[in-house]
Structure 1
């Protein structure tokens, strides 16, 4: 059975497939932590379920997954609503680029937003969190392409240079938001170890102003070992657990 047909069909075969993949991922994360001299208990794996059905998220919850990542508000809000009663323990992480006009909606269900890259977005999220009576963890997204001396990558988003601290200051000052730390994606064609080392250096600068911003969201299915070695606390993993992502619907 192909991954896509399994995702569509759900059922016992899909649940078994997810259990096997999740088990292998957990072994891989534990090995990466051991190699870096770190406690695997300090790492949070966010399973990114974009374009996969609610049934997959439900199966993952049954396997002990608490942290789920999404990158489109319409899809994420629908999944969160569908599973709110059966799985209130789920923590929803918004990991994609976020338009300001979607911030109020995202603040209603997201436990964390990993892609805060401008002051205007921070203010919009704060307004949404206040309206919902919630507190949302925020990661300031860093444009590592720019940090490494290349051109900015608008397709991936992220703040660069002094803007990183400006956004961090805005988040820290906002009622309803908590500055968790930084997030980044390794630039295409770059050594992820070098990229994540640069992220760790940027994080040190931010922590001088905001000592509590200790979280680092970095690493995906293909480069999580390099991220763990550089101090990542949150890993955003999709294909290693769910298989090849189906197309948008």
Structure 2
């Protein structure tokens, strides 16, 4: 399949899942996870019309995205990986959306750099929805306080983000994240990847992060 065909296939599956949930497919943002992918593969998806891309590492993104963005200024770049506070300045300048704000120290660093740069990327609060020690994300009990802190910062709050545990049914975790969003008065839900995005859409995802299914292996 070509990049355009893969994009059309995934978009069709998102639309089908949204229809089942009585939602509009336009309410689901498709983020192509381009980490580890070379520029030429990314350019194929850009040519097919894809405009939202996700990267996990600041240094990798800096190595390949400035040239692509110079040619395609309408692209929105998303930071979807764990972010160290010492990378805040670079992240603020490069990314339009940061999905992994999970602690006050990172929020403070991003807010400080946003004021310096005169540029404020939108953010999601990342939740450790499965309470896994090895994963990033704030504890469920800390969601309300971190959401409040973001609202008091110069960074626009888009919603909550989470990655369910591997090897288990993800739907209960998607439902829990949606419940936390309702309780905290936020609408955005960044959840769902290549293997589970249909379930995520049916449970309210407003952004899905898809890599493998969009890029030819």
- Give your verdict on TM over 0.5: yes
Residue ranges of structure 1 left out of the alignment (5+ in a row): 1-15, 147-151, 208-212, 245-249
1:206 is aligned to 184
1:222 is aligned to 195
* TM score, norm. by length of structure 2: 0.96
Of 43, 47, 50, the residue aligned with 1:65 is 50
2:127 is aligned to 142
The runs of at least 4 aligned residues of structure 1 exceeding 4 Å deviation read none
Q: Is the radius of gyration larger for structure 1 or structure 2? A: 1
For 1:19-64, what per-residue CA distance to the aligned partner results, in whole angstroms no more than 9, with x for missing partners?
Answer: 1211111111111111111100111000000000112222211111
Pair 1:161 & 2:146 matched:
no
**1:1-249 equivalences in 2 (<5 Å):** 17-146=2-131, 152-154=132-134, 156-175=135-154, 177-207=155-185, 213-244=186-217
* TM score, norm. by length of structure 1: 0.84
Q: Report the count of equivalent residues.
A: 217
For 1:70-94, what per-residue CA distance to the aligned partner results, in whole angstroms no more than 9, with x for missing partners?
Answer: 0000011222311122000110000
RMSD over equivalenced CA pairs, Å = 1.2
Q: Secondary structure at the match of 2:213?
A: helix
Residue ranges of structure 2 left out of the alignment (5+ in a row): none
**Residues in 1 aligned to 2:69 and 2:199: alpha-carbon distance in whole angstroms:** 34
